[in-house]
Amino acid sequence: MRTLTIPAFRDQREIPDDDGYFAGLRSDDGPSWDNPSMPPWPDTQYAAEPAQPQYGQPYNTPDGFRRGEVTEVSMTDPTGWKAGTGVPVVDDRPPGESTSGNRLFTVLLFFSGLGTSIALWLFNTRAGAVSDTASTMIAAGRVTGLIGGYLLFVQLLMMSRVSWLEEWVGSRDLLRWHRWLGTSLLAAVVAHIVFIVYGYALTAGTGVVDQGWTVITTFPEMISATIATGLLVFIALISIRFVRNRLNYELWHLVHLTSYGVLLLGYGHQIAAGADMSGRYASVFWPALGCITIAALFWGRIVEPVWLNARHRFTVAEVVAEGANTFSIYIEGKRLDKLPVQAGQFMRWRFLTANGWWQSHPFSLSAAPNSQWLRLTVTIAGGHTRKLATMSPGTPIWAEGPFGTFTAERRTRRRALLIAGGSGIAPIRALLEDMPPDTIVIYRASRPDELVFRTELEELAEERDAWVRYIVGGRNDPGPRRLFTPDGLRGLVPDVNRRDVYLCGPPGLVNAAVDTLKQLDVPESQLHLDPFEF
């Protein structure tokens, strides 16, 4: 018989069984998680969907306020909503420093490296060497080649997943820079090819196509460079949002990893054919840049994950239903009190089952970590997530991370607004445990049965003097339509521009919320998004 010691955690386990709020956590071979004296659950994969509480049902709070309720549009209330927040509007000062200084230093470091890369051409070019169209085209080709090589190193460095880089910069900025630099890298490589081939064609007096073929077949390492360019173009094409949204995630991620091949194939071409790599300064700078990148990849992709899994030995403890198409995975492990993860962060999880060991997916914690277990909450969105719901206790797990700066310690103000949509409630639910008093949670869902953790949210709200507002309905219903308008959001959160705002949900919800928050003069430094793309 297997038992598991659970720390006291009132918002999850002190709900009476006859409430209908919480179905409990099941163990196939032992007592239930929330009551060790109870008999085992029936032999089903996970517990039946818990009944939802009736909306509008009184919620006992010592101050007379209901901490969580469905909020609807009102034609009489001056805020536009039937349910007010009851939160006073008080000015405040930031409790801590922002990471803007880190970002500024990183940007300066990036442009310093870029300038140094371009300087390799400048130091290796004598005065008067650029005198006609052909030499100008060749010079432009050399410069864009150096830029492209440097951007490739930086791109791979951002993909290395080394923990210090995310902690220093932040995952949101890394994601934005990764996308922007990917486009710039492709443009630089294509420009390098066009300028070089056209410049040599002018010099030789031949056609562009003939000269291109001559370059590929006669210059050293050009075959590998051509393959690298083809891979780069293919990666760029499948990274277009329209294309990516229609691709299987595992396939997209696998193809994206071929960017390591671009580095290996392209580096030989840079050293063998690069006219600016022969100088004494270049012979140190360029290999050093390559060594730093490779070392970061080795550390972030191999050393850190091996150490993490050898130390903690994660396994599945239980799979529990939470609501419509949603379930939670409870995870056991060794020395979880030493795991450097915070509420709001995510990790990449590889469940070592017969049909899913080769797939790795990012899932956020849906409860603050403790020394006994971790919890992930998953919404079924395809074949892989559907199979996760059938896992047996004891299934081994390979994890990487933690990642992300979607944490309470990144706050710059004394109060917070948490906005969740769909499966985005998982990190928001965890974050609420670390947030200060007067935090407001706005939970957007299409149907009442899609609301998960309602009891936990309201229990936590009571404990932490917070407020939860559920906006339920289709996108064309009055409440959801009003939510992300300046008047609608200000009606729910009058002091919104003096709060840190944490957003997690579908791209449409996040984009609509960000646009509205900018109209309400919420500074960029107070916006926290939860992207887990790497």
Q: Tens digits of per-residue pLDDT, 3-53?
A: 333 343 333 333 333 333 223 333 333 333 333 333 333 333 333 333 333
CA separation for the pair 450, 315 (Å, rounded): 28
Contact 420, 442 (CB under 8 A): yes
Across the beta sheet with 416-421, what order do the strands follow?
68-70, 467-472, 440-445, 416-421, 500-504, 527-529
Q: Tens digits of per-residue pLDDT, 446-482?
A: 888 888 898 899 999 999 899 999 999 988 888 889 8
Q: Tens digits of per-residue pLDDT, 283-297?
A: 788 888 888 988 988
Residue closest to 229 by CA, chosen among 190, 258, 268, 267: 190
Q: What is the rounded average pLDDT of the residues 259-275?
A: 67
247: its two tokens: 């691709």
What is the percent of the chain with per-residue pLDDT over 70, rounded to a whole number? 79
Residues 6+ apart with CB under 8 A from 265: 224, 225, 227, 228, 231
CA separation for the pair 436, 365 (Å, rounded): 19
Q: What is the pTM of this model?
A: 0.73
Residue closest to 323 by CA, chosen among 60, 503, 53: 53
82-91, 178-187, 352-361: least confidently modelled range: 82-91
pLDDT above 60 (res 526): yes
Average pLDDT, the chain: 78
The per-residue b/e assignment along 459-482, b for 16 or more CB within 10 angstroms, e otherwise, is bbbbebebbbbbbbbeeeeebbeb
pLDDT above 80 (res 317): yes
Q: How confident is the model at residue 171 (pLDDT cuts 50, 70, 90)?
A: low
pLDDT above 80 (res 249): no
Contact 468, 457 (CB under 8 A): yes
- Amino acid 1: pLDDT: 32
Distances (CA, A) of 481 to 87, 279, 445, 475, 522: 23, 62, 13, 6, 20
DSSP 271-321: HHH-TTSSSTTHHHHHHHHHHHHHHHHHIIIIIHHHHHHHHH--EEEEEEE
Q: How far is CA 27 from the centre of its chain?
A: 32
Please give the radius of gyration of the chain, using alpha carbons only, rounded to the nearest integer.
27
Q: What is the rounded average pLDDT of the residues 102-108?
A: 80
Give the position of tokens 């922007």: 180
- Amino acid 287: pLDDT: 85
CA separation for the pair 122, 165 (Å, rounded): 31
Contact 483, 515 (CB under 8 A): no
- Amino acid 120: pLDDT: 85
Q: What are phi and psi of 383, to 5 degrees?
A: -65, -40
pLDDT above 80 (res 383): no
Q: What is the rounded average pLDDT of the residues 173-181?
A: 81
Contact 496, 489 (CB under 8 A): yes
Q: What is the rounded average pLDDT of the residues 484-508?
A: 91
Q: Cis check for the bond before 402: say yes or no (omega within 30 of 0).
A: yes
Q: Tens digits of per-residue pLDDT, 412-458?
A: 898 999 999 988 999 999 999 999 999 999 999 988 888 889 889 99
Distances (CA, A) of 272 to 150, 268, 275, 372: 16, 6, 8, 55
* Strand pairing class (500-504; 416-421): parallel
Percent helix, percent strand, percent coil in the chain, to nearest 5: 45, 15, 40
CA separation for the pair 273, 229 (Å, rounded): 15
- Amino acid 339: pLDDT: 93
- Amino acid 70: pLDDT: 81
Q: Mapping DSSP to helix (H, G, I), strand (E, B) and coil, where does residue 78 land?
A: coil
pLDDT above 70 (res 299): yes
The torsion defined by the Cα of 382, 384, 389 and 393, in degrees rounded to 10, comes to: -170
- Amino acid 290: pLDDT: 85
- Amino acid 84: pLDDT: 55
Q: What is the rounded average pLDDT of the residues 80-95?
A: 56
pLDDT above 80 (res 276): no
Q: What is the rounded average pLDDT of the residues 256-271?
A: 70
- Amino acid 5: pLDDT: 38
CA separation for the pair 383, 472 (Å, rounded): 27
